Chains A and B, each alone.
Chain A
């Protein structure tokens, strides 16, 4: 059945999308939330309802910040929004039309405004051996804890850097996982460089306290923690059987059947790229983020953005930004006037400021290491789908490849099933270093619909009413 036109279509049911839906409904807007997962929460609050119902003991494992999401999810349930759960979005039009599918039938959703709250993904970690079975991201292990109550059998090697690495280690410890080593790329120099950012971060002191408490608990559990590691490799032939890395001039080898990699999170820019929005390069964290105007507005009148898809600030800041975007949208539709907007947005602006305060410190403390950005070993796979190595990209640059889009013609990099999600940042960085240009000048893959693959049957089964052009 064809859906009515909505005031607002929100893509993504993480903290930003949920908060925006709640706020917009409260202002009387008709709202549809379209999300890939069949339960709300995004990755951060993934399956929080199910955990509460079937694995309540896991709420203690995952901690209070996860449990917090339950309230946000319940507010969506109570708000009366239309929730298209388990729908992939495969095209977004600049005028506000969203095309999606539940895996059996494609559907068209029309809205006066569309808010993209598509969130973040973990930065790919291209080290030798990262394609071996037994290797996954630390976030993947966390998703398995949330969605299935599963932990890797172990021994586990956790390698990389960032606040999420600590959080997940802390959760794995509580879940009773067998952790062989936590090997952090963060070094003493990173702490020195980040130190000047400390005073301003004190506004978000609870984040720093949480980080220190996690580190204390992990150490108290007897987990071996090493910092300042480099030259990480995953060892193994048919599957991972350990890791090796350098530290203080010595090479360490640790046996492990499961390797969890993590180097922070980056905005997932597939949807904003498909819309051809302007993207900027974050010099310190080495990621692309779409340019936004006031409270998530963009150069396209119908398109708004919220949450970590616009830059990494964390779940609570994303929630505030979702509410601010909803208010901005309501103002653009003349649902509220300027005075009312100022009144309603003030508390969320200060909330956002509070939760963002710690970020400059974290950005400085956890920079992605240069050998992750630009893998020095020519044999390291960069594009997992098409099995394109760092060396072949450098060779293509020497042969004259000008940027990521021309590289597709040279090597098919970025043309496999993941559509460049896993190699895009690395390709930009490797090409920039090899050609002596800046990443901003090298650019990024052009992203085209469908954003996610769908079958011809899903298109063919579409309601004819959905296909009529405006």
Chain B
């Protein structure tokens, strides 16, 4: 888990899987999630393997998350905003009503 050092940037409130979490303006979504999460931030579509952000600069695509209803966004490339809703992606997606 990441430790946030001192910052005087404004406090921003986001939700991660429905849980209200405080972040700081300017942080990426990935950073805010990592400051709050020990372990996986998603599981893979192929094998449900646990994964977390690896590069933080937009090349590895391990940080994919659902942000404000849009899936597969690069959480390391998007900054937090007040009221943002972030969801972890678990395994392969399925169409509602079908397995």
Interface residues of A (CB under 8 A from B): 36-38, 43, 47, 50, 54-55, 57-58, 88, 103, 121-122, 131-137, 139-140, 143-144, 147-153, 175-176, 238-239, 257, 268, 384-387, 416-418, 421-422, 452-453, 455
Contact = CB atoms under 8 A, between A and B. Distances in A.
B34 interface: yes
| Closest 7 pairs (CB-CB, A-B) | A133-B52, A140-B56, A417-B61, A148-B31, A418-B61, A150-B2, A143-B56
A77 B21 CA distance: 34
Contacts of B50: 132-133, 238-239
A141 B14 CA distance: 22
- Chain B contact residues: over half helix, strand or loop, or mixed? loop
B31 A54 contact: no
Given A133-B50, A149-B5, A238-B40, A143 B27 contact: no
Contact of B40 (A133, A143, A386): A133
Contacts of B35: 148, 150
Contact of A144 (B31, B47, B60): B31
Nearest to B27: A148
A149 B7 contact: yes
B47 A387 contact: yes
Nearest to A39: B26
Interface in B52-96: 52-62, 64, 70, 72, 76-79
B98 interface: no
A139 B46 contact: no
B8 A55 contact: yes
Nearest to A154: B3
B39 interface: yes
A418 B61 CA distance: 5
Contact of B57 (A121, A152, A176): A121
Nearest to A146: B56
11 contacts: A47-B26, A54-B7, A133-B39, A143-B57, A152-B1, A153-B1, A238-B40, A238-B50, A384-B60, A385-B61, A422-B54
